[in-house]
Structure 1
Amino acid sequence: MSINSDLHLNFCTKSNVGSTESCETTPLLQNGTVQTRATGASFASSVFNLMNAIMGSGILGLAYAMASTGIVGFSVLLVLVASLASYSIHLLLRLCDLTGINSYEELGEKALKKPGKIMVGIAIVAQNIGAMSSYLFILKSELPAAICSFLSTENTENAWYADGRLLLILVTVCVVLPLAMFPKIGFLGYTSSLSFIFIVYFAIVVVVKKWSIPCPLPHNGTKLTSTFKISNASDSECTPKLFIMSVRSAYAIPTMAFAFLCHTAILPIYCELERPSKSRMQNVSNIGIGLSFLLYFISALFGYLTFYGHVESELLLGYNAYLPRDIMVMTVRVAILLSVLLTVPLIHFPARKAVTLLLFEGRGFSWRIHITSTLILLSVVLMLAIFVPDIRNVFGVVGSTMSSCLLFVFPGIFYLKISNQPLRSIDSAGALILVVFGVIMGAISLTVIIVTWIMNS
């Protein structure tokens, strides 16, 4: 049976006032057949899910990005990346309504046939594996220190709770795995709201602790960064820079792209949104990106104004060095760990979905496939988190390759191929700009990062 690509299904709900009906048009075509959406996630729950998909370990790397580009340079780049991210979501939602396809992978197949679907699937899996490994990396490095700081005991080096790898395995098995087993993303809305509260608390603490650490930074007994070495501390170190251009700037845009990438979760969240429509989902994405931008900018600005050129690639490490027993730092460390912990299952959802689409296309839901793919993905992520030496490498490589493709390149190419709009139209011109920007940004950043690795080695 052939079905036109513009097939839609109308959801009608009666208003409480009178007997009028309001109808939302929702596309439900996938693989040539009508698909039933799993609706039911509220608007607020969808916003929290989206913000949880956006925010995570990326917030810990943005202060380093500001130290690499300057306040004005960072602000311009952050606005640019956030705006392009929101616009690319707009294109994806337009394509979803235009074709009736509610899967990023299927959009790739519609635009570029089978190779397009495979490219998108691989990019989603690689991107989310990188994201989850960065989150678990934070757990590995921060959880032992958090436990030891609360216990306040001496000689904890040989204690089992001081082994980050052991704790990481225990947390993954006892917390991440059960949450990742949920078959629907809407169930994670409750944990996402908690994660958002933790991120807000982190931003508040970063602002408050700006006035608790002196500048120039003290030398006595402090752990200095491996990237920046303090020589003669002076007031010049405490002067914020507006524009900075250096090799380290190559990590800035990939880190921002990594921080704003939520596109792999957009369509799953759209599928389960209560009374789904493009305008309703666009409002979800606008609110989610806007609030994330605000929290990102505040935490990056005050984190930079606290440490200036000595910002660590993972912001919490600086507070650990200078305020190891501060109660707010200890509690915010736990809050970030919980936020990161609750984010991993949400990021796992689209990765598992991509794996099942690529390897088990056409099959219905199977608990055997569901459990097996979940266990394999988490095992790979766990191994990467154990052996990754520096979180900055994850931000740089994943951000300049997979994040760039999923956030900029793929939405632009898919819209140009599927929409058949003239190139002079606003959305077609915008799609072309997305593609050009994504390719140039990714190529330049990845080249500089690889050259830096070679020079350092």
Structure 2
Amino acid sequence: PPTMSINNDVDVVRERTAQDTEETAPLLQGAVLSRARGASFASSVFNLMNAIMGSGILGLAYAMASTGIVGFCILLVLVSSLAAYSIHLLLKLCDQTVWCDYGLFFFLFLNKHSISEPFLFSRFSAMSSYLFILKSELPAAISSLLSADSPGNAWYEDGRLLLIIITLCVVLPLSLLPKIGTLSDPQACYLFFSCVVVVKKWSIPCPLPHNITSLSGAFKVRTAFLSSAYAIPTMAFSFLCHTAVLPIYCELDRPTKARMQKVTNIGISLSFLLYFISALFGYLTFYAQVESELLLSYDAYLPRDIMVITVRLAILLSVLLTVPLIHFPARKAAILMLFGGRAFSWLIHIAATLTILCVVLILAIFVPDIRNVFGVVGSTTSSCLLFVFPGIFYLKISRQPLRSFDSVGAALLVVFGVIMGVTSFCVIVITWAKSS
């Protein structure tokens, strides 16, 4: 790349690569910047938004109900700005080390197995959230398509049973493929979701009818302080895209750090807009009765609405096809962590696929509320990948003096991530204890 300041960093990469074992060296050499030029600015923004947009959008209205509109706006601006700044630090490190893989920054001061661990946990959490959506939304989708005279307590109203069937019949066969392409377009799906939330704001009376109560009644047994502990982790979960940023940078046409930073700023800003609109209109529709998963809130008031049914089916299809896509890098990270650079083996491939799906399926079946997924994952894995690790990497790898602006910013980013993660996780555990 024309603006890469490689200097002696190339020698550092070569020395570290030369000291590696045969199974790790190809990994490092493949991650040194070898750009497939041709991706336009607009397509890069599109790809970044696809990496950002995810199931977190379903929980942001609940977060706004917990913190209030003003508090939510402040926190969402804070988290999105810090996400953009942490990407800025990663891009600077990418230029200095000529490495275009987030995981390989771990290799500079940790052993090779640590390359895979953070991504494995993040993929597990993402798959758990998507399978949980399948468990909660499939029964509602099927019920909305059937007549109102259908008998209750039918087998298709059991979300756990439906989840097991769908996992065995659809997710497992797709996940067993050794290679998999792009199966879904989550960005378009969540854009449609935002539009439906806005339109349906005017279809439900305000105030809500007193004879209809929330499906879960979660707000009856909680305080605003305890529930706000889920807000920042949910936002961190929603803006986590850092593992995809550097590969997008590699493929950008005329790659420069400034150009990629513009891609980042526009992608995060547009995602911020969709997130905020969905959260605001979802909250203004249901207020304190909003569910931790927004779509479930419509079942009590618009059980057979065509637009709600359509967006529900669109999200279910997107989620169903996205799980195998997330499973592919999770399986690759697990095999790399356990077996290194061993040649492809169907036995290992099938065993890893079944093990990962079983673990994720068990988590999705027994977790009672999706806010627990957002809260725990956001306060642990997401906060580390979004705040803590980029700051630590910059402080340890960058040649900038410790008193420089970015070094101070990286240190503050680490402090914020640690405090936010530990505090949120502790408060969430307290919430569980009080609920039990």
Structure 2 length as normaliser, TM-score?
Answer: 0.85
Distance 1:365 1:290 in 2: 41
**Per-residue deviation, 1:383:** 1.9
Structure 2 residue 326 is matched with structure 1 residue 347 = yes
Asked if structure 2 preserves the Cα contact closer than 8 Å seen for 1:146 and 1:330, the reply is yes
Q: Distance in 2 between matches of 1:98 and 1:182?
A: 37
Q: Which secondary structure state, in structure 1, belongs to the residue aligned with residue 211 of structure 2?
A: coil
| 5+ residue gaps, structure 2 | 1-8, 15-24
- Once the two structures are superposed, residues 55-86 of structure 1 have per-residue CA deviations (whole angstroms, 9 ceiling, x without a partner) of 22200110111111111111111011011111
Give the Å deviation of 1:127: 2.2
For the residues of structure 2 that align with 1:435 and 1:330, how far apart are their CA atoms? 42
Residue number in structure 2 paired with 1:25: none
**Residues in 2 aligned to 1:49 and 1:376: alpha-carbon distance in whole angstroms:** 30
Could you say if the C-alpha distance between residues 146 and 224 of structure 1 is closer, same or farther in structure 2, counting changes exceeding 3 Å? closer
Equivalent position of 1:443 in the other structure: 422
Aligned residues of 2:101 and 2:243 also touching (Cα < 8 A):
no
Q: 2:274 matched to 1:260? A: no
What does the per-residue CA deviation read over 1:219-278, in whole Å, with 9 as the maximum and x for residues that have no partner? 335544421249xxxxxxxxxxxxx96221111101101111112333454456677664
Cα distance in structure 2, aligned partners of 1:278 and 1:251: 34
Determine whether 1:200 maps to 2:191. Answer: yes
Q: CA deviation at 1:217?
A: 1.3
- 1:4 maps to 11
Distance in 2, Cα, partners of 1:374 & 1:269? 27
Matching residue's letter, 2:306 = I
Match of 1:191 in 2: 184
Of residues 367-376 and 82-91 in structure 1, the stretch that sits farther from structure 2 once superposed is 367-376
Tell me: CA distance 1:86–1:384, structure 2 relative to 1, closer, same or farther (3 Å).
same
Take 1:34 and 1:141, find their aligned partners in 2: how far apart are those partners?
41
**CA separation in 1, counterparts of 2:206 and 2:390?**
45
CA contact (8 A) 2:88 2:261 kept: yes
Partner residue of 1:33? Answer: 29
Offset at 1:307? Answer: 1.0
Deviation of the 1:144 alpha carbon = 1.6
Taking the aligned partners of 2:81 and 2:159, their CA distance within structure 1 comes to: 38
Query: Are 2:165 and 1:167 aligned?
Result: no
**1:113 alignment partner, SS class:** coil
* Contact kept in structure 1, 2:113 and 2:336, CA below 8 Å: no
Q: Is 2:127 the partner of 1:132?
A: yes
Which whole-Å CA distance do the structure 2 matches of 1:256 and 1:309 have between them?
19
Contact 1:51 1:288 in 2 (8 A): yes
CA distance in 2, matches of 1:343, 1:48: 17
1:121–1:355 Cα contact (<8 Å) kept: yes
Instruction: Say what the alpha-carbon RMSD is for the aligned residues.
Output: 3.0
CA gap of 1:53–1:35, structure 2 versus 1, over 3 A, is: closer
Aligned residue number for residue 121 of structure 1: 116
Give 2:82's aligned residue.
84
2:357 aligned partner: 378
SS at match of 2:326: helix
Aligned equivalents of 1:290 and 1:96: distance in 2? 23
SS at match of 2:201: helix
Deviation at 1:95, TM superposition (A): 1.8
Q: Go from structure 1 to structure 2 and tell me whether the alpha carbon gap of 1:225 and 1:159 turns closer, same or farther (over 3 Å shift).
A: closer
1:203 counterpart SS class: helix
- Kindly indicate whether the alpha-carbon contact (under 8 Å) linking 2:118 and 2:381 is maintained by their aligned counterparts in 1: yes
- Counterparts of 2:202 and 2:433 in 1: how far apart (Å)? 39
Between 265-274 and 387-396, the greater mean CA deviation after superposition: 265-274
Q: Kindly provide the CA deviation profile for residues 35-54 of structure 1, in whole angstroms up to 9, marking residues without a partner as x.
A: 58584784455544432332
Note the C-alpha offset of 1:315. Answer: 0.8
Distance 1:298 1:3, change over 3 A: closer
TM-score (norm 1): 0.82
The SS at the match of 1:211 is: coil
CA distance in 1 between counterparts of 2:267 and 2:350 reads 30
**Contact 2:69–2:280 under 8 Å retained in 1:** yes
Select which of 338, 352, 366 maps to 1:359. 338
1:311 Cα offset (Å) = 1.4
Which one is further off, 383-392 or 338-347? 338-347
Give the conservation status (yes or no) of the 8 Å contact 1:198–1:338.
Answer: no
**How far does the alpha carbon of each residue in 1:274-296 deviate from its partner, in whole angstroms, 9 at most, with x for none?**
77664554444333322211100
Paired residue secondary structure (2:219): coil
TM superposition shift of 1:387 = 1.6
Specify which of 177, 181, 201 is matched with residue 210 of structure 1: 201
SS at match of 2:420: helix
Alpha-carbon distance between aligned partners in 2 of 1:201 and 1:364, rounded to the nearest angstrom: 43
